[in-house]
A and B are shown apart, each in its own frame.
Chain A
Amino acid sequence: MSKLLSPAGAKVLFMGNEAIARGALEAGISVAAGYPGTPSSEVIERLAGVAQERKLYVEWSVNEKVALEVAAAASFAGLRSICVMKQNGVNVASDFLLHLTASGTRGGLVLVTCEDPGALSSVNEGESRYFARMLEIPLLEPSNFQEAKDLTKWAFELSEAIGNVVMLRSVTRMSHASGNVICGKLPVKTREAKFDYDGSVMDSQTGPMISTPVVAKHALHQKKLKDVEALFEKSPFNKYVGPAKPQLLIITSSACFLYASEALSMLNLQKRVGILNLSCTLPLPPKLLKKYLRLTNKIMIVEEVLPFLEETVKVLAAGMFAQIGGKTFYGKIDETLPSFGELNPDIVAGALTKIFKIKRKSLPVAYTKELQKAAAIVPAREMTFCAGCPHRASFWNISNAIALDGREGFVCGDIGCYAMAALFPATGYYTTPTLHSMGSGTGLASGFAKLDVFGMNKPILAVCGDSTFYHAVIPALINAQHNRADITFVVMDNAGTAMTGFQPHPGLPTSALKEVVPAVEIAAICKAIGAKVIISDPFDLAATSKILTTFMAEKGSVKVLILRQACALSPEKKGKKIFDVKVNEDLCMGDSCGCNRLCTRIFRCPALTWDRIKKKAAVDEVICAGCGVCYSICPQKAITKTEAASK
């Protein structure tokens, strides 16, 4: 049995995302939808794992907007539903979200956004808290694992109480760390789906689900938010820890509560500093805030990335000036703390030492020395594609084809593992100078291709992965085809949403619930819009490179090359080598003229190593995935491949 189904009262070690999933189960959800994205993916994955037992419908939707629409339909039918995404996903879902919050919801609908301060696995550290403010919906931010579960469960009640979406925000360190959670009861009764719409247009529980009359509904929406404020005043999720008369009040939320607590303990300031840990951060309850702002004149707001909480607190404090007097605020606006990157206990402690004018005990000299010694021997490792990754071969082909074409063509990059081609230029063989949001590579290429009349006579390429293709590329591709944008569009189809853990996508005949479902073929879609389509294996270097050069030279609209080869780590490939790959040292030219270490210096598969003493290349058998591509690039045929015995 999944630990997610542990009985009430059981103390279970849950990852933050599992705690959220358990909270949703305790709330009695019926539907869960999302699009994979680190650090959010485990919520849907775990729920899919217990879907049968809990009678859930769980899906990986084509993108976050559609996921929210699927979840909203369940809500409209009176069911509880959860919609899960990473911070970028909220941007994608935001168009529908804006209208959804205006029409209101019925069954509890919780939008979980797992955010990535420090952009550990993102290409931005954008945050959704500002969406909550803009859309005027409640925002909950758990600061420990128990709370992650409890707040999630409560969020559904709150959503139903106000008839609107509730946003629950987690961050990487909350979603991916683990802690003990005491489980509550799992409900026995399930709800029946029923959608009534013959009531008054002003009644979102019985009438049509629309945002008009806009002004009247907006006023009603704001009135309900006032009710939330009242609930938040008394919520046990907002807590104060610390002395009755602190010298400094820290106002914080989320994982930052843990950083602040640890910083106080590091500096032994627990008796001088109090922490107001807010888990209900929007709307901020004014009475509660007034009560604690009165305790002291020095306030530090500890939060990650932008000063969202700080701004809210300051606005309220300004309104209370007559009652609470002037305060000194420390935070991001006065640059006590950075408004970029992740926080950690050290950064918070650093801020505290400045405020209290105290010195931190420095590390013992011997320890620092040991640390430096260790740092010196840690090998510098670059981010790169895995051994056997089809993307390496794809970019090798693209790079060669661009060079052969000779017009300095370039690739508009996109989001997926292949984003590394843009992030680390040597990994993409210096082909990919742009990288933005999902699908934007194709849109950018569509635009670049129209600049020929202004003198840009280069072949324009775009890449995307298979999952990204369905997520956001299709409109851009249609745009390119319709507007006669001459682009070479490469789909790096590695048979799954590989970067986030092989979640299925519409191109695969399997669903989140492991049912057999119809696969929607990329090639068929591209052909249907009138594009020229060729499918190739990126490991076949000669054939692929030839298609690419032909495509680039050909005048026309969209030319699609689908490069099909499953991810080296995919469940069907993992551990299985196609080839045993070896280096024949007698043939290896090493670094002399005639080769100059092409395989280890330029191709750079992590399984190829350079023996500094022998001055020969070697294959690290443990890392090698046996794809055999290096055999094709070795000018000396010193790299040999033989059918693997373990195949």
Chain B
Amino acid sequence: MTIPVKKFISQKILKKEVLESGLCTGCGACVGLCPYQVIYHDRTVQLHACDLENGKCYDYCPRTSTDLNKLRNLLFDAGDMSPEIGAMKGYYFSRATNPQLRENVQHGGTVTALMELALLEGLIDSAIISSPDREFGQSGLVVKDKVELRKNAGSKFTVSPTVAVFNQLEGTKDAGNIGVVATACQALALAKMKLKSVKEDRGKIDQLKLVIGLYCGWAFAAQKFNDLMGQNDIALESISGMDIPAGKNSLEIYTATGTKSFPLSDMQECIRNACHYCLDSTAEYADISVGAARFGDNWEEMRHWNQMIVRTQKGRDLIDLAIKRGVLEVKEAPTESLLQLKKAAVEKKKAALQNIIRKSGSAKNLLYLDCHDPVVQMFLAKQISNKKSR
């Protein structure tokens, strides 16, 4: 049997544009939709050839072209937009009120507290989070109660195919309303589904009620990270947590036998290739984005706080409820912190654009980005002027 020649076989183009180009973020957006693509360790694998045009895999991928302007208009109020960190209705420092909850979390426990609240109040029925998986690094997990939620709190530093779990949700009635904790690439994939969703996925996408974004500078490639740990005699299962303390420029790895510190420059090698082409450090397409406060001189104090950007009305409502229920301590963040955040966000955008141009060979070809997008254009112009001034 001969397969008729088609112009645009989604799977093939996805392979060429994303997988083979090293742009795949491992978010899982193209996985769980069909039997052809799976995540293995942190790699997206095409098992067999699909010959369909207009496949969802291509449409949902955060590294295929997207009309970002349309997406911003769909999700956010025009007045909230900033070029550096996306939509912002408010910017705060926060932490979970419950000290017990804060014990096992990354910083202030804001994400865990918000998801717990959303589940408890019935705003969502299922939360999709990432869960450590000894063998494969991370995998997505559907949780419905706070015990499971707390068990999986904390940053993991490798990618999780969280979106695949959303794709795989069967019997949408059973899942009910859904909330997802997502990195920037995952949040973008979920947002793209709203923009491009096909008929049969419409119901599920309408059930997606909440996306809590995580600030993300980069993630480690699992194999490279595991190799590095191996070289340093750190058993993967002994790692209880990791962090990048403010102002230290190093990665701290917490194990049962103590803390090991690696200079960030040494960790560069381990960073997933795709992260070098990502412009988004604050998960711009979420309802609320949360990161480490990382501000001021007192890290020991601040490490137990988060900073957060409230982006949508839904996000605002949830924060208000959290304050009302007393689960979250929220305070206005100083302007310097916001300026610092924006500065870092701009750095990432500029670096990523530079990498993209280096890869494509032309400022007119920005791979998955549109060079006419107003935000992209702004940073593109800055980059060109920077170059000139040098």
Contacts and interface: CB of A to CB of B under 8 A. Distances in A.
Contacts of A596: 34, 36, 50-52
A594 B200 contact: yes
- Using C-beta atoms within 8 Å of the partner chain, give the interface range for chain B: 20 to 34
Given A382-B1, A404-B38, A594 B47 contact: no
A47 B55 CA distance: 60
B208 to A, nearest CB: 18
Contacts of B38: 404
A614 B45 CA distance: 31
- Using C-beta atoms within 8 Å of the partner chain, give the interface range for chain A: 20 to 34
Interface string B40-57: 100101111111101110
A595 B55 CA distance: 11
A593 B43 CA distance: 22
Interface string B329-359: 0000000000000000000000000000000
Contacts of B55: 593
Interface string B193-211: 0000010100000000000
B34 A593 contact: yes
A403 B46 contact: yes
A193 interface: no
A404 B40 CA distance: 6
B3 to A, nearest CB: 9
A629 to B, nearest CB: 14
Nearest to A603: B48
A399 B47 contact: yes
Contacts of B34: 593-596, 598, 635
B49 A602 contact: yes
Contacts of A591: 52
A575 interface: no
Contact of B35 (A399, A429, A592, A635): A635
B43 A594 contact: no
A429 B48 contact: yes
A608 to B, nearest CB: 14
Interface in A575-605: 591-596, 598, 601-602
A6 interface: no
Contacts of A404: 38, 40, 45, 47
Contacts of A601: 51
Nearest to B46: A403
Contacts of B50: 596
A594 B46 contact: no
Nearest to A634: B35
Contacts of B51: 596, 601
B33 interface: yes
A319 B80 CA distance: 104
B1 A380 contact: yes
A598 B33 contact: no
Contacts of B54: 593
Contact of A400 (B43, B47, B198): B47
A403 B56 contact: no
A406 interface: yes
A382 B200 CA distance: 35
B247 to A, nearest CB: 39
A633 interface: yes
A191 to B, nearest CB: 59
B43 A595 contact: no
A406 B40 contact: yes
Interface in A350-393: 380, 382
Q: Which of B35, B38, B52 has the most CB of A within 10 A?
A: B35
B172 to A, nearest CB: 14
Nearest to B37: A403
Contacts of A602: 48-49
Contacts of A598: 34-36, 48
A595 to B, nearest CB: 6
A478 B35 CA distance: 39
Contact of B33 (A382, A403, A549, A593): A593
Q: Which of B36, B54, B56 has the most CB of A within 10 A?
A: B36
Contacts of A633: 35
B47 A403 contact: yes
A266 to B, nearest CB: 37
Given A593-B52, A593-B54, A406 B35 contact: no
Interface in A613-647: 633, 635
Interface string B11-50: 0000000000000000000000111101010010111111
A587 B33 CA distance: 15
A401 to B, nearest CB: 10
A593 B40 contact: no
Given A593-B33, A596-B52, A633-B35, A403 B198 contact: no
Nearest to A594: B34
A594 B204 CA distance: 15
Given A380-B1, A596-B50, A596-B51, A406 B45 contact: yes
Contacts of B45: 403-404, 406
B47 A593 contact: no
A549 B43 CA distance: 14
Contacts of A400: 47
Contacts of B43: 406
A381 to B, nearest CB: 10
Contacts of B56: 593-594
A177 to B, nearest CB: 33
B47 to A, nearest CB: 5
A101 to B, nearest CB: 50
A403 B49 CA distance: 11
A355 to B, nearest CB: 41
Nearest to B34: A594
A425 to B, nearest CB: 12
A336 B197 CA distance: 67
A592 B199 CA distance: 12
Interface string A494-535: 000000000000000000000000000000000000000000
A400 B40 CA distance: 11
A400 B35 CA distance: 11
B82 to A, nearest CB: 36
Contact of A595 (B1, B35, B46, B198): B35
Nearest to A426: B1
Contacts of B48: 399, 403, 429, 598, 602
Contacts of B33: 593-594
A444 to B, nearest CB: 26
A62 B36 CA distance: 42
A610 to B, nearest CB: 11
A598 B46 CA distance: 13
A145 B198 CA distance: 69
Nearest to A633: B35
Interface string A248-285: 00000000000000000000000000000000000000
Interface in A278-300: none
Interface in A332-350: none
A635 B36 CA distance: 10
Interface in B277-332: none
Interface in B45-103: 45-52, 54-56
A196 B168 CA distance: 78
A404 B35 CA distance: 13
Nearest to B56: A593
A382 to B, nearest CB: 7
Contacts of A635: 34-35
B44 to A, nearest CB: 10
10 contacts: A380-B1, A400-B47, A404-B38, A593-B56, A594-B56, A596-B34, A596-B51, A598-B35, A602-B49, A633-B35
Given A382-B1, A403-B45, A594-B56, 16 more contacts: A404-B47, A406-B43, A591-B52, A592-B200, A593-B33, A593-B34, A593-B55, A593-B198, A594-B34, A594-B200, A595-B34, A595-B35, A596-B36, A596-B52, A602-B49, A633-B35
Closest 7 CB pairs of A and B: A635-B35, A404-B40, A602-B48, A403-B47, A598-B35, A594-B34, A593-B55
Interface of B: 1, 33-36, 38, 40, 43, 45-52, 54-56, 198, 200
